[in-house]
Amino acid sequence: MPAPIEPVVTALSQISVIVRDLMPAMQRYVEVAGIGPFAVYELGPPEVTNIRLHGRPASFRALVAIAWTGDAMWELIQPLEGESMYQEFLEQHGEGMQHTLVRHAGRDIDEVIARFGAHGYEVCMSFEWRGTRFAYIDAMHDMRMVFEVLQRPEAPGPAAKGPATPPTYWYPYDPKTLEATGSPR
């Protein structure tokens, strides 16, 4: 009888797609797939700190749009400038699905990184944003994907669905406006 599987990845939370131009990409997701509204953020210094790309210091700016369908998160990323795995992906492959955010319940981010590292998988990019640590584990050579893991600071109370921090703007409308008025405008 085989040994029981020891869970490390406990859930798939997000699909992330790299795009050249965020606005038309959001429009397609809203109009064709009915996914949205999107919370849009601009990532970059000074809020994004401790950026490392392939183990060395780096800097980047990107637009990130996030929407939810049920418990699943959709993320669209447009690299703006600097060095990032997002820009590398765009240059090497063009637009497309680039990584998945996974949950690792009960495990510290460093424990997850060490577990993957013990099997030869390295962190290709990491950074901190608004108190949350992000790490992207490159498993492309044999698992054909990049795993994103994160660790948020301890928060009181249950986790809420939706953005943990206010976005720069919403597209095509702020869902709170719809809840309050019954109209997206």
Residue 65 within any structural domain of the chain: yes
Pairing of strands 48-53, 132-139: unpaired
| CA-based radius of gyration for the chain | 17
d(Cα 88, Cα 109) in Å, to the nearest integer?
Answer: 24
Residue 168 domain-assigned (yes or no): no
**Mind giving me the DSSP string for 56-102?**
EE--EEEEEEEEEETTEEEEEEEEEEE--HHHHHHHHH-SEEEEEEE
Question: Per the domain annotation, does 5 fall within a domain?
Answer: no
Q: Are 66 and 73 in contact (CB under 8 A)?
A: yes
Look up residue 115 and give its two tokens. 């577990």
Q: Is residue 135 part of a domain?
A: yes
* Mean pLDDT of the chain, nearest integer: 91
The string of pLDDT tens digits covering residues 30-74 is 999 999 999 999 999 999 999 999 999 999 999 999 999 999 999
Which tens digit of pLDDT belongs to each residue from 54-66?
999 999 999 999 9
Whose structure tokens read 């992000």?
Answer: 134
Residue pair 93/35 in contact by the 8 Å Cβ criterion = no
* Domain hosting residue 81, numbered range: 11-158
Chain centre to alpha carbon of residue 176: 23
Whether this prediction's pTM lies above 0.85 is answered by yes
Domain tally, the chain? 1
In a domain, 132, yes or no: yes
What are 144-163's pLDDT values in tens digits? 999 999 998 876 544 555 66
Instruction: Answer whether residue 55 is part of any domain.
Output: yes
Amino acid making up residue 162 = G
C-alpha span between 18 and 98 (Å, rounded): 6
Q: What is the pLDDT of residues 72-131, one digit of tens each?
A: 999 999 999 999 999 999 999 999 999 999 999 889 999 999 999 999 999 999 999 989
Other C-beta atoms within 10 Å of 80: how many? 16
Residue 182 lies in a domain: no
The mean pLDDT value for 9-24 works out to 96
Q: Is residue 184 part of a domain?
A: no
CATH code for the domain of 89: 3.10.180.10
